[in-house]
């Protein structure tokens, strides 16, 4: 009988089976525990690497923010310079282009600032998520690592606070400052525009009788000193106040076209009052073509004085164009006072055009007559008359009567019988360069004027010789009376 033996084998096999199963189960559990540990360590390693990357990112961000702060500080300094310009008077129209550049630079900084704020917010959120992961929310616990992440988060937060509180506030303040400066410029432009509208006429007083002005060499530059008669004279002081919008327009001139491209570039250095109705504009250029080495020469260019040249929709005023004569030496003693004589008798002159200068020295000239024109009875100058009766006028440097120069005459200002400037009469009365006065045309009764009796005419006297004007001009006043 083999049954007992079979049962024994089965029992042994069952024990072996259970042992194998237990062995297998134990091995599987050990395998699972090793895999979990590896996953846990791997996640911590990832977070440590992210922490290191975050610290590098913080250093990089801090450097970028420092650079941004420095740029904003530079903009702030430039705005302060504009605010303190003109001896503390603030920005002028010339700084508008610079103000535009600063505004663009500030807009760029503002955009970059917002990008940095967004970046910092993202990084702070990411760090907070990592801190939550390793403090138990996701089954990972590492207090030391959590402390480092929290410290890094705080550093990012401090950067964010600096940007949101300090730098954002500074940029907003600078924006307001720029807007204030722009408003100041706009108001100034309106004021200049209104002044330009009141300037009726600007006439260059030439240095030579060929209607040119003198250019001299002054060190390594070439200088013009142009006297400009302005009408009305009441705007002179305001023009000096707005000297930054006075400029020189220069153009080359060819014999064929009489007009051409831009000439030498002159920069106005000074604007000052010559007399009550005249400005002196000093301007210089560093490069001028066609200069002679030893003799005076008329250059192939012309210049004009311009007020408010860059007006876009506003008003501007400009003199006529005058030629330029270069002299390598100081041949014109333009700063000297000259006396004027008829024979040995000194002519009564003044240094300015204002009528009050001639209270006791006005010459009465009985050169008016009744004239009939187209049925109208007029009182005006009959034929051509000498401005001053008697000998021709000669000029001498003050305290040097031995030197006698010729005199060139030109019209200054005409005043009506009540003493008010009558600029409309410039169309009727002419002064010749050799000292004569005449009517250009008959008076027009349609303008309400049929008589110029009692009118006073201010005439400029200028010493000249061999084509050069010498010394300062002087002025004589004549009162027009009937014969």
Residue 34 falls inside a structural domain: no
User: pLDDT digits over 277-290, tens only?
Assistant: 899 999 999 999 88
The whole-angstrom separation of Cα 281 and Cα 273 is 9
How sure is the predictor about 323, in pLDDT bands with cuts at 50, 70 and 90? very high
* Same domain? 375 vs 464: yes
* Same domain? 205 vs 154: no
E strands, 260-386, in order: 267-275, 278-285, 297-307, 317-318, 322-327, 338-342, 345-346, 363-373, 376-381, 385-386
Residue 207 falls inside a structural domain: yes
**Which residue has better confidence, 303 or 95?**
303
How sure is the predictor about 29, in pLDDT bands with cuts at 50, 70 and 90? very low
* Same domain? 289 vs 184: no
* Same domain? 471 vs 372: yes
* Same domain? 191 vs 66: yes
* Same domain? 428 vs 450: yes
* Same domain? 349 vs 408: yes
Strand 322-327 vs strand 212-218: parallel, antiparallel, or unpaired? parallel
Residue 89, pLDDT score: 56
Average pLDDT, the chain: 80
Among 182, 197, 212, give the residue marking a domain's end. Answer: 197
**Which residue has better confidence, 461 or 86?**
461
Q: Is 412 helix (H, G, I), strand (E, B) or coil?
A: strand
* Same domain? 458 vs 367: yes
Q: In which domain, by residue range, is 71 found?
A: 47-197
Asked if residue 4 has pLDDT above 90, the reply is no
Residue 333 falls inside a structural domain: no
Residue 414 in contact with residue 455, Cβ under 8 Å? yes
CATH number of residue 242's parent domain: 2.60.40
Residue 381 falls inside a structural domain: yes
> Number of folded domains in the chain?
3
* Same domain? 321 vs 421: no
Residue 199, pLDDT score: 93
Residue 22 falls inside a structural domain: no
* Same domain? 77 vs 184: yes
Residue 16 falls inside a structural domain: no
* Same domain? 469 vs 397: yes
Among 144, 172, 197, give the residue marking a domain's end. Answer: 197
* Same domain? 374 vs 400: yes
Among 136, 166, 197, give the residue marking a domain's end. Answer: 197
Residue 284, pLDDT score: 95
**Which residue has better confidence, 328 or 383?**
383
Q: Kindly give the residue spans of alpha helices, DSSP state H, lying in 84-211.
A: 85-88, 96-134, 143-161, 168-198
Residue 405 falls inside a structural domain: yes
What percentage of the chain carries pLDDT values higher than 90? 36
Residue 26 falls inside a structural domain: no
User: pLDDT digits over 351-393, tens only?
Assistant: 888 899 999 999 999 999 999 999 999 999 999 999 999 999 9
Asked if residue 32 has pLDDT above 80, the reply is no
């Amino acid at each position: 009988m083999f049954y007992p033996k079979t049962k024994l084998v089965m029992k042994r096999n069952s024990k072996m089976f259970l042992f194998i199963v237990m062995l297998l189960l134990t091995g599987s559990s050990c395998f699972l525990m090793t895999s979990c540990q590896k996953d846990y360590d791997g996640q911590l390693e990832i977070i440590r690497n992210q922490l290191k990357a975050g610290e590098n990112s913080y250093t990089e961000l801090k450097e970028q923010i420092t650079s941004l702060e420095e740029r904003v500080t530079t903009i702030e300094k430039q705005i302060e310079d504009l605010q303190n310009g003109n001896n503390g008077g603030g920005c002028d129209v010339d700084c508008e282009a610079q103000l535009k550049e600063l505004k663009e630079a500030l807009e760029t900084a503002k955009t970059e600032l917002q990008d940095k704020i967004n970046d910092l917010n993202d990084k702070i959120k990411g760090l907070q998520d990592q801190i939550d992961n390793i403090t138990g929310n996701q089954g990972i616990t590492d207090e030391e690592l959590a402390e480092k992440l929290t410290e890094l988060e705080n550093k990012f937060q401090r950067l964010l606070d600096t940007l949101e509180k300090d730098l954002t506030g500074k940029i907003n303040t600078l924006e307001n400052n720029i807007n204030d400066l722009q408003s100041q410029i706009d108001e100034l432009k309106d004021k200049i525009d209104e002044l330009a509208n009141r300037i009726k006429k600007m006439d260059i007083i030439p240095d030579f009788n060929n209607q040119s002005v003198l250019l001299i060499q002054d060190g390594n530059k070439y200088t013009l000193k142009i006297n400009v008669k302005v009408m009305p004279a009441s705007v002179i002081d305001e023009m000096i106040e707005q000297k930054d919008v006075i400029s020189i327009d220069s153009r080359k001139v060819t014999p064929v076209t009489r007009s051409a491209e831009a000439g030498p570039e002159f920069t106005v250095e000074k604007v000052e009052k010559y007399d009550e109705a005249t400005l002196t504009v000093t301007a210089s250029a560093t490069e001028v073509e066609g200069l002679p080495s030893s003799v005076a020469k008329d250059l192939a260019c012309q210049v004009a004085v311009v007020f408010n040249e860059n007006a876009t929709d506003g008003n501007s005023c400009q003199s006529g164009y005058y030629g330029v004569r270069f002299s390598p030496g100081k041949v014109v003693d333009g700063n000297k006072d000259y006396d004027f004589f008829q024979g040995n008798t000194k002519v009564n002159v003044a240094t300015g055009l204002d009528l009050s200068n001639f209270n006791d020295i006005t010459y009465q000239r009985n050169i008016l007559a009744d004239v009939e024109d187209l049925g109208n009875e007029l009182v005006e100058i009959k034929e051509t008359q000498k401005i001053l009766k008697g000998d021709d006028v000669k000029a001498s440097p003050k305290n040097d009567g031995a030197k006698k120069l010729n005199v060139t005459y030109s019209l200054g200002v005409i005043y009506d019988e009540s003493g008010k400037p009558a600029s409309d009469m410039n169309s009727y009365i002419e002064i010749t360069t050799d000292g004569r006065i005449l009517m250009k045309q008959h008076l027009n009764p349609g303008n309400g004027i049929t008589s110029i009796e009692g009118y006073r005419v201010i005439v400029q006297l200028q010493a000249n010789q061999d084509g050069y004007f010498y010394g300062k001009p002087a002025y004589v006043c004549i009162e027009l009376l009937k014969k």
